[in-house]
Amino acid sequence: MKKNSIQIFVWIVAVTLLMFESNAAVAQAKKRTVQKNTTAPAQQPANNAANPYLQNNNTNTNSNNPYLSSGNNANTPVANSNANTNATKPQTGIGCREYVNMPSAEGGLFDTVKVSLRPDDPTRNYEMVRDKTPLAYDFIREDDAVFKERVWSEIDIREKMNQVFGYASNEDNGNQRLISIIVQAVMNGDVTAFDASDDRFTTPLNKADFMKTFGGGIDTVQRKDIDGQPTGICEIRPRQIVADSIYKFRIKEDYIFDKEASRLVRRIIGIAPMMKRYLSDGTTVGDDLYPLFWVYYPDIRATFAKVQVYNPKNNGARMSWDDLFESHMYSSYIVKTTMDNFKNQYFKDYIKDPLFRLLAGEKIKEKIFNYEQDLWAY
């Protein structure tokens, strides 16, 4: 009986030792696994550096490419906020390993017009045009302005009388469309464009925000081979804005009767090009046109005085754009007025029929004309 007790004790000790050895082996295996997992990421940067299609935003590399974006659409690249972005690595998902800047195609609104190296018209003295200044307005005292009405009118250049506004010709001073003249003056810093949220010229726009009003910017297109397969090279092009897509202008102006001069004076306050609103996929939002930006007319008069208007009957007898606006040699229709407008609304807000809107504008013109005529005794 004593011998059996000893054998049982030895057996228990042996089982206990085996259990300790097994637990130690498992712990050692777990330790090796943890060490292996913690050392693996140290080799990851080297693997990423060898792969040109992977982008690591935390790597200190060259940042000369301003067109790389973080998580944006490939067709609308923006500047990356991370200053350490690699210039040669594309954003994730695009597959571009190289970017190539491409010039814009001809016909865009922001194109640069080449200057002629020889006199294009030896018979014309261009110095008189370049040095021309607008005629200063006569000062009107507040007490002399016995009548004043403010109107907002629109010019549709598709009308026959207004076709000179879309004269598509390039001269040394740029494209001769009115919208191109205004855009060039803003881009050159000659005038300031204001936000179209209101027509009181409260918020000036910088050049970047000014281009965004047209939906302009930069497109990134991946270059493909003859089989239609991506090559890994992306072309960066300025987004083209068709100048002829802007065919309406809104004019803000005052009609003032000056009793000192005994005449009705018309003063233009601002000009705003109008365009349809587009979604990101290119579809239009309704059929209405909205102002893109406002330009203070007294600021742009100096530019208009130096640009001549196309004369379809005689190319040697041209007037300046300032003369055209001051003489009101264009067709327009009133869309809003301060006369009997207690809610400060446009005609379209309370007149649904487009024909009745035109008739309402003609009635405003007639009232202003009759006021001036009724002051005289015949």
Query: Does the residue 234 lie in any domain?
Result: no
Q: At what angle do helices 297-305 and 178-187 cross, to 10 degrees?
A: 110
Integer distance in angstroms from the first to the last C-alpha of the chain? 152
Asked if pLDDT for residue 245 goes beyond 70, the answer is yes
Structurally, the chain folds into a number of domains equal to 1
Query: Does the residue 204 lie in any domain?
Result: yes
Q: Residue 175 is part of which domain span? A: 132-216+241-374
Q: What is the pLDDT at residue 106?
A: 57
Asked if pLDDT for residue 183 goes beyond 60, the answer is yes
Highest mean pLDDT among 2-6, 134-138, 149-153, 167-171: 149-153
Q: What is the pLDDT at residue 113?
A: 84
Neighbour-count burial of 222, counting CB atoms closer than 10 A to its CB (0-12 exposed, 13-18 middle, 19+ buried): middle
Q: What is the pLDDT at residue 125?
A: 67
Residues in Cβ contact with 260 at an 8 Å cutoff, skipping those fewer than 6 apart = 140, 141, 144
DSSP secondary structure, 193-207, as one string? EEETT-SS--SB--H
3-state secondary structure of 38: helix
pLDDT confidence tier of residue 357, bands split at 50, 70 and 90: very high
DSSP secondary structure, 231-285, as one string? EEEEEEEEPP-BGGG--EEEEEEEEEEETTTTEEEEEEEEEEEEEEEE-TTS-EE
Alpha-carbon distance of 165 to 129, in angstroms, equals 19
pLDDT digits (tens, 9 = 90+) for 78-97: 333 333 333 334 443 457 88
Q: What is the pLDDT at residue 15?
A: 64
Asked if pLDDT for residue 316 goes beyond 90, the answer is no
pLDDT digits (tens, 9 = 90+) for 28-59: 655 565 454 444 444 444 444 444 333 444 43
Asked if pLDDT for residue 232 goes beyond 50, the answer is yes
Query: Does the residue 59 lie in any domain?
Result: no
Asked if pLDDT for residue 325 goes beyond 90, the answer is yes
Highest mean pLDDT among 98-102, 108-112, 118-122, 252-256: 252-256
Asked if pLDDT for residue 203 goes beyond 70, the answer is yes
Alpha-carbon distance of 81 to 89, in angstroms, equals 15
Total-model pTM:
0.69
Q: What is the pLDDT at residue 20?
A: 62
How far is Cα of residue 90 from the mean position of the Cα atoms in its chain? 25
Alpha-carbon distance of 203 to 197, in angstroms, equals 9
Range from 35-39, 109-113, 235-239, 285-289 carrying the lowest mean pLDDT: 35-39
| Helix (H), strand (E) counts: the chain | 9, 12
Query: Does the residue 25 lie in any domain?
Result: no
**Per the structure block, which two tokens stand in for 129?**
């045009």
Q: Specify the DSSP element, H or E, that contains 222.
A: strand 218-224
| Residue 153 backbone phi and psi in degrees, to 5 | -125, 160
Query: Does the residue 106 lie in any domain?
Result: no
Alpha-carbon distance of 23 to 31, in angstroms, equals 12
Query: Does the residue 8 lie in any domain?
Result: no
Asked if pLDDT for residue 243 goes beyond 60, the answer is yes
How confident is the model over 305-324, as a mean pLDDT?
92
Query: Does the residue 109 lie in any domain?
Result: no
DSSP secondary structure, 317-368, as one string? S--BHHHHHHHT-S--EEEEESTT-TT---HHHH---HHHHHHHHHHHHHHH
* Percentage of the chain lying above the pLDDT 70 cut: 71
Query: Does the residue 208 lie in any domain?
Result: yes
